Amino acid sequence: MANKTVKMGGAVSAGEDNDELIDNLKEAQYIRSDLVEQAFRAIDRADYYLEEFRDSAYKDLAWRHGNIHLSAPCIYSEVMEALDLQPGLSFLNLGSGTGYLSTMVGLILGPFGVNHGVELHQDVIEYAYQKLEFFIKTSDSFDRFEFCEPCFVIGNCLEIAPESGQYDRVYCGAGVQREQEDYMKNLLKVGGILVLPLEEKLTKITRTGYNSWETKKIIAVSFAPLVLPKHRDNSKPKAVPLPTMFEVRTLQDLARISIRLTLKKTVAGPGPLPRRRLAHSGERFRRRRVQHRGSTLLSNRYVFMSRLIPGPMDNNNNRSGTDTEEEQEDEEVEEEGNCRVLGDPEEQEEEERREGGALLHEAPVNLLRERILGLPLPELLKMYLLHYREK
Protein backbone atom coordinates (compact mmCIF):
# COMPACT_ATOMS: atom_id res chain seq x y z
CA MET A 1 0.00 0.00 0.00
CA ALA A 2 2.96 2.32 0.47
CA ASN A 3 3.19 3.19 -3.24
CA LYS A 4 -0.39 4.47 -3.50
CA THR A 5 -1.03 8.15 -4.09
CA VAL A 6 -4.40 9.49 -3.02
CA LYS A 7 -4.87 13.26 -3.00
CA MET A 8 -8.57 14.02 -3.22
CA GLY A 9 -10.01 10.51 -3.34
CA GLY A 10 -11.27 8.81 -6.48
CA ALA A 11 -9.21 5.68 -5.77
CA VAL A 12 -12.24 3.40 -6.19
CA SER A 13 -15.44 3.50 -8.24
CA ALA A 14 -18.52 5.21 -6.91
CA GLY A 15 -21.21 3.05 -5.34
CA GLU A 16 -24.97 3.10 -5.84
CA ASP A 17 -25.40 2.89 -2.08
CA ASN A 18 -23.30 2.64 1.08
CA ASP A 19 -22.85 -1.14 0.77
CA GLU A 20 -21.56 -0.99 -2.78
CA LEU A 21 -19.10 1.75 -1.81
CA ILE A 22 -17.78 -0.53 0.95
CA ASP A 23 -17.61 -3.44 -1.50
CA ASN A 24 -15.42 -1.32 -3.77
CA LEU A 25 -13.17 -0.28 -0.89
CA LYS A 26 -12.76 -3.92 0.12
CA GLU A 27 -11.97 -5.01 -3.43
CA ALA A 28 -9.28 -2.33 -3.66
CA GLN A 29 -7.85 -3.46 -0.28
CA TYR A 30 -8.51 -0.18 1.52
CA ILE A 31 -10.74 -2.04 3.97
CA ARG A 32 -8.95 -5.19 5.12
CA SER A 33 -10.40 -6.21 8.49
CA ASP A 34 -13.86 -7.44 9.47
CA LEU A 35 -14.11 -5.00 12.39
CA VAL A 36 -13.53 -1.97 10.15
CA GLU A 37 -15.90 -3.32 7.50
CA GLN A 38 -18.69 -3.76 10.08
CA ALA A 39 -18.24 -0.19 11.32
CA PHE A 40 -18.37 1.24 7.79
CA ARG A 41 -21.47 -0.76 6.88
CA ALA A 42 -23.22 0.22 10.11
CA ILE A 43 -23.21 3.95 9.33
CA ASP A 44 -24.51 5.36 6.06
CA ARG A 45 -22.07 7.99 4.84
CA ALA A 46 -24.93 9.90 3.18
CA ASP A 47 -26.43 10.64 6.60
CA TYR A 48 -23.55 13.06 7.23
CA TYR A 49 -24.17 15.08 4.07
CA LEU A 50 -26.51 18.01 3.72
CA GLU A 51 -29.70 16.83 2.00
CA GLU A 52 -29.00 18.67 -1.26
CA PHE A 53 -25.61 16.94 -1.61
CA ARG A 54 -26.56 13.35 -0.72
CA ASP A 55 -26.24 12.21 -4.35
CA SER A 56 -22.45 12.62 -4.02
CA ALA A 57 -22.13 10.65 -0.78
CA TYR A 58 -21.08 7.33 -2.34
CA LYS A 59 -18.32 8.74 -4.50
CA ASP A 60 -14.76 8.25 -3.31
CA LEU A 61 -14.25 11.99 -2.99
CA ALA A 62 -13.79 14.51 -0.22
CA TRP A 63 -16.68 16.92 0.37
CA ARG A 64 -16.73 20.41 1.83
CA HIS A 65 -19.49 22.94 2.40
CA GLY A 66 -18.50 25.97 4.42
CA ASN A 67 -16.80 24.65 7.54
CA ILE A 68 -18.33 21.17 7.15
CA HIS A 69 -15.90 18.66 5.68
CA LEU A 70 -15.65 14.91 5.04
CA SER A 71 -12.51 13.19 3.79
CA ALA A 72 -12.69 10.67 0.96
CA PRO A 73 -13.85 7.15 1.93
CA CYS A 74 -10.50 5.63 0.93
CA ILE A 75 -8.74 7.99 3.37
CA TYR A 76 -11.06 7.11 6.24
CA SER A 77 -10.54 3.42 5.42
CA GLU A 78 -6.78 3.71 5.69
CA VAL A 79 -7.10 5.71 8.92
CA MET A 80 -9.42 3.15 10.55
CA GLU A 81 -7.16 0.27 9.58
CA ALA A 82 -4.01 2.05 10.78
CA LEU A 83 -5.53 2.92 14.17
CA ASP A 84 -5.88 -0.79 15.01
CA LEU A 85 -8.88 -0.10 17.25
CA GLN A 86 -9.92 -2.44 20.07
CA PRO A 87 -12.73 -2.33 22.65
CA GLY A 88 -11.98 -0.29 25.76
CA LEU A 89 -9.31 1.99 24.26
CA SER A 90 -9.23 5.79 24.52
CA PHE A 91 -9.42 7.82 21.29
CA LEU A 92 -8.81 11.49 20.52
CA ASN A 93 -9.93 12.97 17.19
CA LEU A 94 -8.22 16.29 16.39
CA GLY A 95 -10.45 18.15 13.95
CA SER A 96 -13.45 15.92 14.62
CA GLY A 97 -15.68 17.64 12.04
CA THR A 98 -19.06 16.02 11.33
CA GLY A 99 -18.42 13.21 13.81
CA TYR A 100 -18.64 10.53 11.08
CA LEU A 101 -15.24 9.02 11.93
CA SER A 102 -15.76 9.37 15.70
CA THR A 103 -19.09 7.55 15.47
CA MET A 104 -17.56 4.63 13.54
CA VAL A 105 -14.74 4.48 16.10
CA GLY A 106 -17.32 4.47 18.91
CA LEU A 107 -18.90 1.30 17.52
CA ILE A 108 -15.59 -0.52 18.00
CA LEU A 109 -14.51 1.00 21.33
CA GLY A 110 -17.64 -0.24 23.10
CA PRO A 111 -19.22 1.02 26.34
CA PHE A 112 -15.98 1.15 28.33
CA GLY A 113 -13.92 3.13 25.84
CA VAL A 114 -13.18 6.88 25.69
CA ASN A 115 -14.14 8.86 22.60
CA HIS A 116 -13.19 12.57 22.50
CA GLY A 117 -12.99 15.12 19.70
CA VAL A 118 -11.65 18.66 19.36
CA GLU A 119 -13.16 20.91 16.68
CA LEU A 120 -12.29 24.49 15.81
CA HIS A 121 -15.72 25.66 14.62
CA GLN A 122 -18.82 25.93 16.81
CA ASP A 123 -21.23 25.43 13.90
CA VAL A 124 -19.50 22.16 13.01
CA ILE A 125 -19.81 20.88 16.59
CA GLU A 126 -23.53 21.65 16.51
CA TYR A 127 -23.82 19.81 13.19
CA ALA A 128 -21.90 16.82 14.62
CA TYR A 129 -24.21 16.57 17.63
CA GLN A 130 -27.27 16.74 15.35
CA LYS A 131 -25.93 13.83 13.32
CA LEU A 132 -25.01 11.90 16.46
CA GLU A 133 -28.52 12.35 17.86
CA PHE A 134 -30.02 11.20 14.54
CA PHE A 135 -27.83 8.07 14.59
CA ILE A 136 -28.72 7.16 18.17
CA LYS A 137 -32.45 7.71 17.73
CA THR A 138 -32.99 6.15 14.30
CA SER A 139 -30.27 3.63 13.41
CA ASP A 140 -30.72 -0.06 14.15
CA SER A 141 -26.92 -0.28 14.16
CA PHE A 142 -27.04 1.34 17.60
CA ASP A 143 -28.56 -1.89 18.94
CA ARG A 144 -26.16 -4.20 17.08
CA PHE A 145 -23.15 -2.67 18.82
CA GLU A 146 -22.40 -1.40 22.31
CA PHE A 147 -21.59 2.21 21.56
CA CYS A 148 -18.99 4.58 23.00
CA GLU A 149 -20.68 7.93 22.48
CA PRO A 150 -18.27 10.67 21.31
CA CYS A 151 -17.90 13.94 23.21
CA PHE A 152 -16.80 17.04 21.28
CA VAL A 153 -15.20 20.23 22.62
CA ILE A 154 -14.50 23.48 20.80
CA GLY A 155 -10.99 24.84 20.46
CA ASN A 156 -7.73 24.74 18.56
CA CYS A 157 -6.14 21.29 18.86
CA LEU A 158 -2.70 22.93 19.12
CA GLU A 159 -3.75 24.47 22.44
CA ILE A 160 -4.74 21.41 24.45
CA ALA A 161 -4.20 21.91 28.17
CA PRO A 162 -0.84 20.42 29.29
CA GLU A 163 -2.47 18.59 32.20
CA SER A 164 -4.76 16.63 29.87
CA GLY A 165 -4.36 12.88 29.87
CA GLN A 166 -2.76 10.81 27.13
CA TYR A 167 -4.66 8.54 24.75
CA ASP A 168 -4.29 5.06 23.27
CA ARG A 169 -5.21 6.27 19.78
CA VAL A 170 -5.01 9.74 18.24
CA TYR A 171 -6.00 10.96 14.77
CA CYS A 172 -5.42 14.41 13.31
CA GLY A 173 -7.59 15.37 10.32
CA ALA A 174 -5.48 18.33 9.12
CA GLY A 175 -2.01 18.65 7.66
CA VAL A 176 0.77 18.60 10.26
CA GLN A 177 4.18 20.16 9.75
CA ARG A 178 7.43 18.68 11.09
CA GLU A 179 7.70 21.26 13.88
CA GLN A 180 4.30 20.16 15.23
CA GLU A 181 5.14 16.45 15.27
CA ASP A 182 6.50 16.29 18.85
CA TYR A 183 3.42 18.07 20.20
CA MET A 184 1.24 15.38 18.61
CA LYS A 185 3.42 12.54 19.88
CA ASN A 186 3.10 13.75 23.46
CA LEU A 187 -0.66 13.13 23.32
CA LEU A 188 0.02 9.38 23.12
CA LYS A 189 0.43 6.77 25.84
CA VAL A 190 3.28 4.29 25.55
CA GLY A 191 2.03 1.62 23.17
CA GLY A 192 -0.34 4.08 21.55
CA ILE A 193 -0.83 4.83 17.84
CA LEU A 194 -0.98 8.27 16.19
CA VAL A 195 -2.27 8.61 12.61
CA LEU A 196 -1.86 11.97 10.88
CA PRO A 197 -1.05 13.60 7.53
CA LEU A 198 2.59 14.59 8.11
CA GLU A 199 4.17 16.60 5.30
CA GLU A 200 1.81 15.25 2.59
CA LYS A 201 2.03 11.62 3.76
CA LEU A 202 -0.58 9.81 5.84
CA THR A 203 1.66 8.50 8.59
CA LYS A 204 1.31 5.95 11.39
CA ILE A 205 3.45 6.59 14.49
CA THR A 206 3.60 4.00 17.29
CA ARG A 207 4.99 4.96 20.68
CA THR A 208 7.13 1.96 21.62
CA GLY A 209 8.66 3.51 24.75
CA TYR A 210 8.86 6.72 26.73
CA ASN A 211 11.29 8.21 24.17
CA SER A 212 11.08 5.70 21.31
CA TRP A 213 8.84 5.64 18.24
CA GLU A 214 8.19 3.65 15.09
CA THR A 215 7.06 5.54 11.98
CA LYS A 216 5.38 4.12 8.88
CA LYS A 217 4.33 6.07 5.78
CA ILE A 218 0.98 4.81 4.47
CA ILE A 219 -0.10 6.85 1.41
CA ALA A 220 0.51 10.26 -0.12
CA VAL A 221 -2.32 12.67 0.66
CA SER A 222 -3.22 16.35 0.43
CA PHE A 223 -4.82 17.91 3.52
CA ALA A 224 -5.46 21.53 4.43
CA PRO A 225 -2.91 22.54 7.09
CA LEU A 226 -3.71 22.97 10.77
CA VAL A 227 -4.97 26.43 11.66
CA LEU A 228 -2.41 28.10 13.90
CA PRO A 229 -3.62 29.70 17.14
CA LYS A 230 -4.21 33.46 16.99
CA HIS A 231 -2.97 35.41 20.01
CA ARG A 232 -3.13 39.07 20.70
CA ASP A 233 0.05 40.79 21.83
CA ASN A 234 0.95 39.93 25.45
CA SER A 235 -2.19 37.78 25.80
CA LYS A 236 -2.02 34.39 27.45
CA PRO A 237 -2.96 31.43 25.19
CA LYS A 238 -6.33 29.92 26.05
CA ALA A 239 -5.84 26.25 26.81
CA VAL A 240 -8.44 23.78 25.52
CA PRO A 241 -9.65 21.53 28.37
CA LEU A 242 -10.47 17.99 27.28
CA PRO A 243 -13.34 16.03 28.84
CA THR A 244 -12.66 13.81 31.83
CA MET A 245 -10.80 10.71 30.69
CA PHE A 246 -12.61 8.22 32.91
CA GLU A 247 -15.90 8.74 34.69
CA VAL A 248 -17.31 6.46 37.39
CA ARG A 249 -20.31 4.69 35.88
CA THR A 250 -23.50 4.45 37.88
CA LEU A 251 -24.69 1.01 38.95
CA GLN A 252 -27.83 1.62 36.90
CA ASP A 253 -25.77 2.28 33.77
CA LEU A 254 -23.60 -0.80 34.33
CA ALA A 255 -26.71 -2.93 34.84
CA ARG A 256 -28.15 -1.72 31.52
CA ILE A 257 -24.94 -2.61 29.68
CA SER A 258 -24.88 -6.08 31.27
CA ILE A 259 -28.56 -6.78 30.54
CA ARG A 260 -28.27 -5.69 26.91
CA LEU A 261 -25.15 -7.84 26.38
CA THR A 262 -26.91 -10.87 27.92
CA LEU A 263 -29.99 -10.39 25.74
CA LYS A 264 -27.84 -9.99 22.64
CA LYS A 265 -26.33 -13.43 23.22
CA THR A 266 -29.82 -14.95 23.08
CA VAL A 267 -30.91 -13.26 19.85
CA ALA A 268 -27.84 -12.18 17.90
CA GLY A 269 -26.52 -13.96 14.83
CA PRO A 270 -22.88 -14.11 13.71
CA GLY A 271 -22.46 -10.34 13.43
CA PRO A 272 -23.99 -7.03 12.37
CA LEU A 273 -26.07 -7.28 9.21
CA PRO A 274 -25.27 -5.37 6.03
CA ARG A 275 -27.77 -2.71 5.06
CA ARG A 276 -30.50 -3.73 2.64
CA ARG A 277 -30.04 -3.22 -1.08
CA LEU A 278 -32.45 -2.02 -3.72
CA ALA A 279 -33.07 -4.01 -6.88
CA HIS A 280 -32.15 -2.37 -10.18
CA SER A 281 -32.42 -3.79 -13.67
CA GLY A 282 -29.50 -4.41 -15.95
CA GLU A 283 -26.48 -6.67 -16.25
CA ARG A 284 -24.46 -4.76 -13.66
CA PHE A 285 -26.95 -5.39 -10.87
CA ARG A 286 -27.43 -9.06 -11.81
CA ARG A 287 -23.71 -9.54 -11.14
CA ARG A 288 -24.10 -7.87 -7.73
CA ARG A 289 -26.97 -10.20 -6.88
CA VAL A 290 -24.80 -13.23 -7.52
CA GLN A 291 -21.94 -11.78 -5.46
CA HIS A 292 -24.19 -10.92 -2.50
CA ARG A 293 -26.38 -13.96 -2.48
CA GLY A 294 -25.01 -14.73 1.00
CA SER A 295 -26.63 -11.55 2.31
CA THR A 296 -30.06 -12.99 1.54
CA LEU A 297 -29.22 -16.20 3.37
CA LEU A 298 -27.89 -14.20 6.31
CA SER A 299 -31.16 -12.29 6.48
CA ASN A 300 -33.09 -15.56 6.50
CA ARG A 301 -30.89 -16.72 9.38
CA TYR A 302 -31.92 -13.69 11.41
CA VAL A 303 -35.59 -14.33 10.65
CA PHE A 304 -35.07 -17.87 11.92
CA MET A 305 -33.42 -16.62 15.11
CA SER A 306 -36.46 -14.44 15.81
CA ARG A 307 -38.50 -17.63 16.29
CA LEU A 308 -36.49 -18.35 19.43
CA ILE A 309 -38.51 -15.58 21.09
CA PRO A 310 -41.64 -17.20 22.55
CA GLY A 311 -44.89 -16.41 20.75
CA PRO A 312 -48.51 -16.47 21.96
CA MET A 313 -50.09 -19.68 23.25
CA ASP A 314 -53.61 -20.95 22.60
CA ASN A 315 -55.96 -22.25 25.30
CA ASN A 316 -54.28 -25.68 25.22
CA ASN A 317 -50.82 -24.15 25.77
CA ASN A 318 -49.85 -24.86 22.16
CA ARG A 319 -47.93 -22.44 20.01
CA SER A 320 -50.02 -20.61 17.45
CA GLY A 321 -49.74 -21.56 13.78
CA THR A 322 -48.13 -18.24 12.86
CA ASP A 323 -44.61 -19.67 12.72
CA THR A 324 -45.62 -22.41 10.29
CA GLU A 325 -47.13 -19.85 7.96
CA GLU A 326 -44.00 -17.70 8.27
CA GLU A 327 -41.76 -20.70 7.51
CA GLN A 328 -43.73 -21.37 4.31
CA GLU A 329 -43.48 -17.73 3.32
CA ASP A 330 -39.71 -17.71 4.04
CA GLU A 331 -39.23 -20.86 1.92
CA GLU A 332 -41.13 -19.23 -0.94
CA VAL A 333 -39.02 -16.07 -0.64
CA GLU A 334 -35.78 -18.07 -0.59
CA GLU A 335 -36.84 -20.09 -3.64
CA GLU A 336 -37.78 -16.89 -5.43
CA GLY A 337 -34.44 -15.35 -4.52
CA ASN A 338 -32.56 -18.38 -5.88
CA CYS A 339 -34.53 -18.20 -9.13
CA ARG A 340 -33.51 -14.58 -9.50
CA VAL A 341 -29.86 -15.53 -9.27
CA LEU A 342 -29.94 -18.70 -11.32
CA GLY A 343 -32.83 -18.03 -13.75
CA ASP A 344 -32.87 -16.78 -17.30
CA PRO A 345 -31.27 -13.28 -17.57
CA GLU A 346 -34.01 -11.93 -19.85
CA GLU A 347 -36.73 -13.07 -17.45
CA GLN A 348 -34.82 -11.48 -14.55
CA GLU A 349 -34.55 -8.18 -16.35
CA GLU A 350 -38.25 -8.17 -17.23
CA GLU A 351 -39.18 -9.03 -13.65
CA GLU A 352 -36.98 -6.24 -12.29
CA ARG A 353 -38.61 -3.73 -14.63
CA ARG A 354 -42.05 -4.79 -13.37
CA GLU A 355 -40.94 -4.48 -9.76
CA GLY A 356 -39.73 -0.93 -10.36
CA GLY A 357 -37.04 -0.97 -7.68
CA ALA A 358 -38.50 -3.51 -5.25
CA LEU A 359 -36.34 -4.53 -2.30
CA LEU A 360 -33.96 -7.42 -2.92
CA HIS A 361 -34.71 -8.66 0.61
CA GLU A 362 -36.52 -7.27 3.57
CA ALA A 363 -34.76 -5.10 6.10
CA PRO A 364 -33.58 -7.19 9.07
CA VAL A 365 -35.63 -7.04 12.25
CA ASN A 366 -34.06 -5.33 15.26
CA LEU A 367 -34.15 -8.45 17.41
CA LEU A 368 -32.70 -6.87 20.53
CA ARG A 369 -35.38 -4.21 20.55
CA GLU A 370 -38.14 -6.78 20.01
CA ARG A 371 -36.73 -8.93 22.80
CA ILE A 372 -36.65 -6.04 25.27
CA LEU A 373 -40.18 -4.93 24.37
CA GLY A 374 -41.38 -8.48 25.00
CA LEU A 375 -39.97 -8.67 28.53
CA PRO A 376 -42.45 -8.61 31.46
CA LEU A 377 -41.09 -5.30 32.75
CA PRO A 378 -42.56 -1.85 33.40
CA GLU A 379 -42.61 0.31 30.26
CA LEU A 380 -40.31 2.90 31.82
CA LEU A 381 -37.66 0.24 32.48
CA LYS A 382 -37.99 -1.08 28.92
CA MET A 383 -37.40 2.42 27.56
CA TYR A 384 -34.34 2.80 29.78
CA LEU A 385 -32.91 -0.44 28.38
CA LEU A 386 -33.59 0.97 24.89
CA HIS A 387 -31.83 4.25 25.73
CA TYR A 388 -35.25 5.94 25.31
CA ARG A 389 -35.07 5.41 21.56
CA GLU A 390 -38.53 5.73 20.02
CA LYS A 391 -37.86 3.71 16.86
Same fold, 72-230 and 247-263+368-390: no
Percent of the chain with pLDDT over 70: 71
CA dihedral (126, 151, 48, 89) in degrees, to 10, reads 170
Sequence ranges of the domains in the chain: 72-230, 247-263+368-390
Weakest mean pLDDT among 56-65, 127-136, 335-344: 335-344
* Third-level CATH fold of 247-263+368-390: Elongin C; Chain C, domain 1 (1.10.750)
Q: pLDDT grade, residue 155 (50/70/90)?
A: very high
Query: How confident is the model over 226-243, as a mean pLDDT?
Result: 82
Q: pLDDT grade, residue 391 (50/70/90)?
A: low
Percent of the chain with pLDDT over 90: 55
Q: How far apart are alpha carbons 72 and 4 in whole angstroms?
A: 14
Positive/negative CA dihedral, 53, 57, 59, 63: positive
Q: How far apart are alpha carbons 184 and 241 in whole angstroms?
A: 16
Provide Rg for the chain, Cα atoms. 24
Which pLDDT does position 347 carry in this prediction?
A: 56
Using the predicted structure, report yes or no on whether residue 273 has a pLDDT greater than 90. Answer: no
Which pLDDT does position 91 carry in this prediction?
A: 98
* pTM listed for this prediction: 0.73
Q: How far is CA 15 from the centre of its chain?
A: 17
Q: Among residues 71, 77, 96, 141, which one is catalytic? A: 71
CA dihedral (6, 7, 13, 18) in degrees, to 10, reads 100
Segment 14-54, tens digit of pLDDT? 889 999 999 999 999 999 999 999 999 999 999 999 999 99
> β-strands 167-172, 151-154: how paired?
unpaired
Beta strands in the chain (DSSP E): 63-65, 68-70, 90-94, 114-119, 151-154, 167-172, 188-198, 201-209, 212-220
Higher pLDDT, 153 or 314: 153
Q: pLDDT grade, residue 269 (50/70/90)?
A: low
Cβ-contact 159, 238 below 8 angstroms: yes
Weakest mean pLDDT among 105-114, 132-141, 187-196: 132-141
Cβ-contact 342, 348 below 8 angstroms: no
The CATH code of the domain at 72-230 is: 3.40.50.150
Which pLDDT does position 174 carry in this prediction?
A: 95
Query: How confident is the model over 175-190, as a mean pLDDT?
Result: 95
Query: How confident is the model over 220-249, as a mean pLDDT?
Result: 84
Cβ-contact 72, 10 below 8 angstroms: yes
Is residue 71 annotated as a catalytic residue, yes or no? yes
Name the β-bridge partners of 353: none
